[in-house]
Structure 1
């Protein structure tokens, strides 16, 4: 039996392995070249968690403890925050009296303090001089000799890739935009839909293609493999009887490409004998015209099987980062899939700030539409638009949050930029107040803003009685600024494991979990256009007043009827 630690531990829902750097420098041989990893002396000597088998407990439900945290499996949920008793604080919204919620004046969790060993949000003057973080809207240039950051964890070599050759910044290429609004104003509503509504689920994916939203996968009582279509013009759900459907799965990625849906990875089945969650590295294409699934093994540097990875797309390329392997080990490799040729690439990446091992994070693409939807570009030859021709400054891929290598949620923001034919990772320290650490959240971009909603932080359960988050955060990539958010309308309850996608100026949210049950299958909508959101709010207030007046008239009629009966 494992010894109990005196250090206060936190609960996380996955079986994670921590690494222990045994040497100051180690060499890892990849398919490309030798890469030297310099491990800083200040890094704590973390020991790998040993998971022991016993005759009474299945391998998936083993409980492992270390000096900094306790690890439990999804099956051992009696002591998990997901099923722990306690009141569930919710953002209450009165449909009769719509309240305005301002995160500037009323923070979601005002008493929350960032847990230890998480990302630093406040940088002191001393740290700022030596910090490699990006502190202002700056354009990046790659180093002459970039290093490979496409490393992966393995049982034989559980090493870290938290260092690399630094990239110099060219201040002459910085792009700055003037601040137009003090805050972001949004309006929440619940969309009335018709047709066969899908049941609520977690870890599914929702994407937009040709004025329609497509839902695939996820877990409720079973792992789903059905395709549901939502016509956004009529808000009507349709069940698609797809041919040759793949296994039901969760924790996969789904990308819209031309007239097809492209799916990668995910967790399919749980093996009780092996004590692992079976994952896949297969790629499936779904043709909307033929309504048929087709599997492609892929060629080139095919990534390992994984789930809960971060994925995004640019033109004909799918970008995949991190995730979890079948044994629950975190990954930190970056892979590119050419969706036209079905070939995988393991790109060279210059590292200014390595995101490290990460799962349950989000990777959001922020590019001008003429570049994002142009399938003829090679990802390494994307033109660098000037300040005069580009509508978005600091375009790139943005990785936020997730579970990091210490087994805790983080709120770090990293940018993956394309500069002069090279990819560059850098850690971004924006202005404003960043969201609290989280994982299993969702994110999407509308023009130059990234919207982050929900997620889970198990450290909140002791202080707030709920580990689910209900806040909406907005990051402006033009200004590298976390903006204040003013919210009105029917704000839903906090959730994690939901799906989210953007359509025009609206954001659609479906499904997910609370710490007690599955969320309803209602389709929540966020209007991000300030003018439209204000109009919706005024219409709602008029509707409320009309309902109140009708209620008063009914009350008068009832009173008159009672008086007549008394006479």
Structure 2
């Protein structure tokens, strides 16, 4: 448990900042912040709080000196709030804690713009290219990423060859680690899906090696389970309906049910079926869904969105009841992909869940939606209640060429509004086939391929929190202004030296 520092222990000026970093609170903040900017912001906010509280104490003492008969309990200033960071015992026990994560006690303490519970209609987002420490995995496409206990797992993909590696990124330390798994061997795969359930990762489907005899690339329909505690991989023996081998499908999880839809078989024919896997019973069930859905579709994306009060959901068929008059747009959202005519789409579908009869609906959105695309990424940021779509590609009609995107689109879930965005910072190159995850108020993006080559193995972070993004933008503007100032001074120095040489040459000629 973090200690509550008294005002006297907090810094009162910049010279005491280094001393404060050594205190219990300062050390914890300094260790877990991803950037010096965040550290300074928190430390200076603490300093301001200390000054404010010390002033309140002085006012109390002043009032007491003026009238000893005055009852202390009658003073409106009798309550002095000590600065402290909310933290639970269980959270404090966890290692690799990141203050920018959704589980961060510091993030819970700081006031944010999203406390209004409605994301603004115009927003600024900021891209950062992370300078990771040490080794980085090889860049690839059609890979998967999933967050488990403040760690980002990266699995599979295709590059120079099909990849079967399991790699982990630790945001708190900005470091990649290559995992040596035990147990059964997991086939190298791409175009697969991964979900997290009870701190285990479930891998389904994907494409694998090329079969020279049948002249096609094999697809998988088995389920592998990765234990994130000991990194053991095991096969999940399933019963129930037969599930066709597939790749490039979409996948989401609701409670104990893993939902899959569509994709392509090993002959590259599109599929239109939907199934769920009960992860407790290892039982597949083919779904019959009411309404008009995506149909035959591949390279599309899916995410589950639940109201916070529905988080204990254990089944796709039953959700905890919401309070009266509480509006919600919960369910499984599916966007984009290619249809039966092999054309990219920008269709948005919502699978309404929580009843025995699942139903497709088409949300009536406002604003400007993304253009048609596939092989994009889509993430739900639970903290801000927004859907974030990045990148993707579209094929140029009657040619072998295609165009990749690096644009960002945000859908505000509360009223289904596409937000107007100003994108700043170190924007990633246009790409498709990449992977993304939501972590805290950020979106992490890795891999992908452009129109002519694979993208770099750099990890990009999109900051969505408006207050933090504004600080990053201001820092970037100051940095550019400083660079311009230095360049201007350098130019003036060179011009001055040239003038001096001319004057010296003129005097010598005389």
The Cα offsets for residues 387-435 of structure 1, whole Å up to 9 and x where unpaired, read as: 6667xx2111111111111111111111101144431112233222221
Cα drift, residue 320 of structure 1: 0.5
Number of residue pairs matched?
A: 385
What does residue 447 of structure 2 align with?
511
The Cα offsets for residues 119-150 of structure 1, whole Å up to 9 and x where unpaired, read as: xxxxxxxxxxxxxxxxxxxxxxxxxxxxxxxx
SS in 2 for 1:532: helix
Provide the rounded CA distance (Å) in 1 between the counterparts of 2:355 and 2:220: 34
Q: Does 1:294 align with 2:230?
A: no
Cα drift, residue 247 of structure 1: 1.4
Cα drift, residue 218 of structure 1: 0.4
Provide the rounded CA distance (Å) in 1 between the counterparts of 2:198 and 2:117: 35
More helix as a share of residues: 2
What does residue 329 of structure 1 align with?
269
Q: Does 1:194 align with 2:133?
A: yes
Retained in 1: the 8 A contact 2:224–2:236?
A: yes
Q: Does 1:206 align with 2:206?
A: no
Q: Does 1:457 align with 2:394?
A: yes
Cα distance change on mapping 1:195 and 1:389 into 2, 3 Å? farther
TM-score w.r.t. the length of structure 2 is 0.71
Provide the rounded CA distance (Å) in 1 between the counterparts of 2:427 and 2:433: 17
Q: Which structure: larger Rg? A: 2
Cα drift, residue 446 of structure 1: 1.0
Q: Does 1:497 align with 2:497?
A: no
The Cα offsets for residues 335-369 of structure 1, whole Å up to 9 and x where unpaired, read as: 11122332222234222x22211110001111134
TM-score w.r.t. the length of structure 1 is 0.64
Map 1:398-547 to 2 at 5 A. Answer: 398-447=333-382, 448-459=385-396, 467-547=403-483
Note the residue ranges of structure 2 that are not aligned, 5 or more in a row. 1-115, 505-510
What does residue 264 of structure 1 align with?
204
Cα drift, residue 207 of structure 1: 1.1
Equivalent of 1:350, from 265, 274, 290?
290
Cα distance change on mapping 1:178 and 1:538 into 2, 3 Å? closer
Cα drift, residue 499 of structure 1: 0.6
Retained in 1: the 8 A contact 2:147–2:439?
A: yes
Cα drift, residue 548 of structure 1: 2.8
Q: Does 1:308 align with 2:248?
A: yes
Greater shift after overlay, 334-343 or 188-197? 334-343
SS in 2 for 1:540: helix
The Cα offsets for residues 275-313 of structure 1, whole Å up to 9 and x where unpaired, read as: 222001110011121111111131112411100000011
Note the residue ranges of structure 1 that are not aligned, 5 or more in a row. 1-176
Retained in 2: the 8 A contact 1:255–1:263?
A: yes
SS in 2 for 1:474: strand
Provide the rounded CA distance (Å) in 1 between the counterparts of 2:307 and 2:386: 12
Retained in 2: the 8 A contact 1:382–1:421?
A: no
Provide the rounded CA distance (Å) in 2 between the counterparts of 1:202 and 1:419: 34
Greater shift after overlay, 184-193 or 319-328? 184-193
